[in-house]
A and B are shown apart, each in its own frame.
Chain A
Amino acid sequence: MAPEEIRNVILDILTDIAPDEDLTALEDAVAFREQLELDSMDFLDIVMELRKRYSVNVPEEDYPQLASMDSTVTYLTPKMTDCVAS
């Protein structure tokens, strides 16, 4: 899966987790936490949805890598090369 596709996957997950958030103005370089009302439970859900949808495992020590869209895509790109967009 290409970085742009991974970005869409994350947007899709965020839409499911936080349907009331406006994601069109999301800045990829800025932490999710500074732009969206996400708490630790929501972050767990990003990890869980990745596992459910693409069998990608993110160990707990790597959670900080999911701080912003840019860092998330960078972190996931090598892990999701073999994934197919659904």
Chain B
Amino acid sequence: MYDTIIIGAGMSGLAAGIRLAHYDQKVCILERHYTIGGLNSFYRVNGRNYDVGLHAVTNFTAKGAKKGPLARILRQLRFKWEDFSLAPQKGSRIAFPDVELRFDNDLDLLRSEVKRAFPTQVDRFEALINQIADYDDLDQAAFERSGRKILEETIDDPLLIEMLLCPLMWYGNAAEYDMAWGQFCIMFRSIFIEGFARPYKGVRLILKNLVKRFRGLGGELKLRAGVKTIHVEDGRVVCVELDNGEQIQGKRILSSAGSLETLRMCSDTSEPDPRRAGQLTFIESISILDRQPEKIGNADTIVFYNDSEKFHWEKPAVELCDTRTGVICSPNNYEYSDDEGQLTDGVVRITTIADFDRWNALSEDEYQRQKLRWYDRSVAASVQFTPDFRPYVIDTDLFTPTTINRFTWHDNGAVYGAPDKVLDGTTHLKNLFLCGTDQGFVGIIGAMMSGISMANMHCLRD
């Protein structure tokens, strides 16, 4: 009998596992995939290491900072700042036709850019920053208000609203069209106020440290151990049953599988309404260059581009992907320390909105053909906003919504999960709780914070 069974060995499940194992609980993490990490995993192809989710770790604060989510996570998990060894970004851009806003890890750059590009909005932008500072993280009603509506009340230039929403939706909005006000505030803080960073070795460094700690504390991790059924009697989970039929008992379950995905496993519930599932998923076109991006004039860490004045955050209507908006990430463009040096390969990653059902319906041959086709189309769309890197490409890879589904097991490969978030992590069962993306915190730091806070709130106090 385990004290806590955790479903999913992503960032949230591992962080929760460390908290519980540290306080002497008998903990088991069950992961369906053959590797750890979930959305923030990694893989190796043609002798090169690739990250799945990671463009940037958000919520960056420098060593010694005592406030903010990163400092909190380090304290709660008893890690040193060096264990994540984050290098800050060089600088990023929001690029729309004929107007751009640069930003970095100091809000003053974005302030001055708003002043340059939108001189009439300076005071309104300050008012918005104050509203964000006043937002209380745990108020579900405030969280769910329409972000667009509040933005329209504060800022009266529609183009600035679209430009602010673009990066924040790209990096953490599960819903189409609009963004919950709470999600907007969390993302604004994590991206514009705190900012981007990356470990030189990518996401594997963070994962390696999390797993090492979890196992060192006596935690058990089972891979290829998908949960088929959560068996329920009298409003309580009695055990979980794996795909191979094995039954495992725990006093409580903490699931990072997603809210609908978790409900579907429960033996006492009917099939949840598929319309409540997230729809937003991506393809990622990765190019390896024969030189550093900086050598061809690309010094941007991340570029969020959109090819018209209106930002369209929605599932593609007619094709496999929609290239009107995208993200260009160059992992070389971080301030790595002198002893780390620079990544050997030049890398440019392009993220493009995609449709899960269309990708999932393709035959194997057609799937391979469409990967080549959409690599070309997504890269062609991106080079309107970054120096054309195509002559220097020596290797490519592309992953699709079905890849993301395999790593995360989320319905539709939805990168940020379902639109409805459950901030308190509770379910219809007394000893079943949610953590991870459907609890409402996204990104690497958000996911770890979710695991920690749900473990603290529901699994430690008895």
Contact = CB atoms under 8 A, between A and B. Distances in A.
Interface of A: 16-21, 37, 39, 41-42, 44-45, 48, 51-52, 60
A33 B24 CA distance: 27
Contact of B23 (A16, A21, A41, A48): A48
B380 interface: no
B460 A39 contact: no
Interface of B: 22-24, 64, 66-67, 71-72, 75-76, 78, 80, 452-453, 456, 460-461
Contacts of A52: 22-24
Which of A18, A42, A45 gathers most chain B CB within 10 Å?
A45
A37 B61 CA distance: 15
Contacts of B71: 37
A52 B453 CA distance: 19
B328 to A, nearest CB: 36
Nearest to A51: B23
Given A37-B67, A52-B23, A42 B460 contact: no
Contacts of B67: 37
A60 B461 contact: yes
A44 B460 contact: yes
Contact of A41 (B64, B66, B76, B461): B76
Nearest to A37: B66
A20 B62 CA distance: 13
B72 A39 contact: yes
A41 B453 contact: yes
Contacts of A42: 75
Given A37-B66, A37-B67, A41-B453, A48 B460 contact: yes
Given A21-B66, A44-B456, A16 B78 contact: yes
Contacts of A51: 23
Contacts of A21: 66
Which of A20, A37, A44 gathers most chain B CB within 10 Å?
A20
A19 B63 CA distance: 12
A29 B17 CA distance: 36
Contacts of B76: 41, 45
Nearest to B457: A44
5 contacts: A39-B72, A41-B75, A44-B456, A48-B23, A60-B461
Which of B66, B72, B78 gathers most chain A CB within 10 Å?
B66
Contacts of A17: 75
A20 B72 contact: no
B381 to A, nearest CB: 43
Contacts of A20: 64, 66
A41 B24 contact: no
Nearest to B64: A20
